[in-house]
Structure 1
Amino acid sequence: MLLKKNNRPVEVVLPNGTRLNRSNLPEQGTKRWVVRHKMTVVNAVLYELITFREACEAYELSEEELLSWLKMAKQHGAEALKATALMKYRQP
């Protein structure tokens, strides 16, 4: 793993062997969030390609929203990030 000056990796390798780098991230200011884009941001944060704060700022996400994505992805996988599945996986 190569590191930039700020000790952030240039690229990370996910457990499934997929390589993730900044060019794979959705465009800043993305408004339409499909599961693939959500999981890319979640993985970028989890594997320290970008910080939680960077993700919130770049994508204009609230801390609560990004935290919910992280929690749902960890507990239930990408399927839980589908807009149509939110009610199924959310805790009361």
Structure 2
Amino acid sequence: MIENQKIKPDRVIGPLGEPLTLDTLPPRDTRRWVVRRKAEVVAAVNGGLLTIDEVCERYDLTLEEFASWQRAVDRSGMPGLRVTRIQHYRDLYERQQKY
């Protein structure tokens, strides 16, 4: 029975090196997603604090929207999450893949 249960950490390391807990994550009613908040949510999922399903439900996100945040962080780090620069980072990533 115990092997079926997943043990979740009570804290993970955030994108700026700070500890993140469920209490320090962005509020559930967040509507303005700045780079830091997006990166914190991605770090929470990557560290096992929350699942993707939990994040999508908690913040009313689509799977596609969250997946785009994860891809941006994987490819370009926190700067990739900037909405004003998203096309620049996509183009840069595509050029890097060619070489």
**What TM-score do you get using the length of structure 2 for normalisation?**
0.78
2:24: which partner in 1? Answer: 24
Structure 2 CA distance for partners of 1:10 and 1:68, relative to 1, 3 Å? same
Q: Which has the higher helix share?
A: 2
Give the superposition deviation at 1:9.
1.1
Kindly indicate whether residue 87 of structure 2 is the aligned counterpart of residue 90 of structure 1: no
Percent identity of equivalent pairs: 39
Q: Aligned equivalents of 1:87 and 1:17: distance in 2?
A: 27
Give the superposition deviation at 1:6.
5.7
Structure 2 CA distance for partners of 1:76 and 1:12, relative to 1, 3 Å? same
Structure 2 CA distance for partners of 1:15 and 1:72, relative to 1, 3 Å? closer
String of CA shifts for 1:55-78, please: whole Å, max 9, x gaps: 000111100000010011011000
Secondary structure of the residue aligned to 2:12 is: strand
1:1-92 equivalences in 2 (<5 Å): 7-13=7-13, 17-90=17-90
2:97: which partner in 1? Answer: none
The size of the alignment, in residue pairs, is 88
Task: Please list every run of 5 or more consecutive structure 2 residues that lacks an aligned counterpart in the other structure.
Answer: 95-99
Larger Rg: 2
Task: Please list every run of 5 or more consecutive structure 1 residues that lacks an aligned counterpart in the other structure.
Answer: none
Give the superposition deviation at 1:87.
1.3
Whichever residue aligns with residue 24 of structure 1, its letter is: T
Structure 2 CA distance for partners of 1:29 and 1:15, relative to 1, 3 Å? closer
